[in-house]
Amino acid sequence: MWRLFVSFFLLAVASTPAQIMSTPLNHTVCTLRVDVSLADGGGAVSGVRVQLIQGLMNATPVDVQMTNSSGSAEFRGVLPGDYRIEVSGEGVQSTRSEIIHIEDGRVFMSQMVAVRKTETPGNNGAGTGNTVSVAELNVPQKASEELSRGDAEMQHSNWKKAAEHFNKAVSIYPQYASAYYNLSVAYYRLSKSDQQRDALQKTLKINENFVPALVSLAHLELADHKTEPARTLLDKAVLADPNNVEALALRVRVDFLQGQDQQAIADAERVHEMAHQGYATVHYTAAAALQRMNQIPQMVAQLRLFLQEDPSNPRADYVRQTIAELQGQSR
């Protein structure tokens, strides 16, 4: 059976989109407000992406919002459990919070996440995150107001109305990268992938180092089985922000699909050195690459890491059976 491991992997590489949590019976749901501010005391941070991630080892993205003009994002209908918050966006370093525990019966909770500004790239052209476009410094007040209105609609999951405001913002100021990116998020939630792609491409035309847009567009390219464009986008994202775990983890998958097994293993090792809750599948991918290289002991080691980090993954039983069979053959 283990010889079918790579084939099994190839059938399982499709990414799972974030979804809003359903509300089961007998549980109190909570409203979670996230306030994003600069770590150096520089005040609230508006227009950045805030992702709610459920679980510890088997982490699952469940919702995404954008901060409003006050630096806040609100998640409604959140079930009891353990969560983390991941913040990313133009001008800030990608940041993941500590564990947030929401007890059953709690109806409101607030969480502060402090982020740092990205550094200006040096002479070598490599930065540590997104760079702020000069165009963002010249946004007309009316365009900024439309962005704020769109953010407010996003807080209530009114995605259609949010998209209308973001479209108004970019019609007033066509160089508004943040508004185009927010528009892409709204189109994602409206299941309009073509419009989402167009908004992301316009974001990157204005600011080619906007890491969240690079990663989001790479997801779309990979969903269309276009690995080379996805790789180009991810290479640029990792160059701009070497600590962006999502970009590196997605590149591991692209490495494997392109037959670059050594690079897949190297990228998986880079991810493993970081805080990477929710990205245990990099070890699954590395194991598949190691099998193709006939390095079975190393393959088993990667599979054990996968089980250690994500023991309840739907593929876990298959992985356990694969390990057992490999160990039986080695005796």
Q: In which band, very low, low, confident or very high, does the pLDDT at 331 lie, cut at 50, 70 and 90? A: low
Mean pLDDT, the chain, as a whole number? 82
Topology of the domain covering 246-331: 1.25.40
pLDDT, residue 124, reads 40
pLDDT, residue 282, reads 94
Burial of 137 (0-12, 13-18, 19+ CB in 10 A): exposed
Strand 108-115 and strand 30-38: pairing? parallel
273: CB partners within 8 A, 6+ apart: none
pLDDT at 106 exceeding the cut of 90: no
Torsion from C-alpha of 253, 292, 274, 58, nearest 10 degrees: 70
Say which range, 70-74, 123-127, 190-194, has the weakest mean pLDDT.
123-127
pLDDT by residue (tens digit) across 43-83?
788 888 898 887 655 456 778 888 887 788 888 888 888 88
Read off the pLDDT of each residue in 253-260 and give the average, rounded to a whole number: 95
More confidently predicted of 259 and 83: 259
Percent of the chain at pLDDT > 70 equals 82
pLDDT, residue 170, reads 95
Q: In which band, very low, low, confident or very high, does the pLDDT at 330 lie, cut at 50, 70 and 90? A: low
Contact indicator for 131, 209 with CB cutoff of 8 Å:
yes
Contact indicator for 140, 131 with CB cutoff of 8 Å:
no
Confidence (pTM): 0.69
pLDDT at 128 exceeding the cut of 70: no
Q: In which band, very low, low, confident or very high, does the pLDDT at 313 lie, cut at 50, 70 and 90? A: confident
pLDDT at 96 exceeding the cut of 90: no
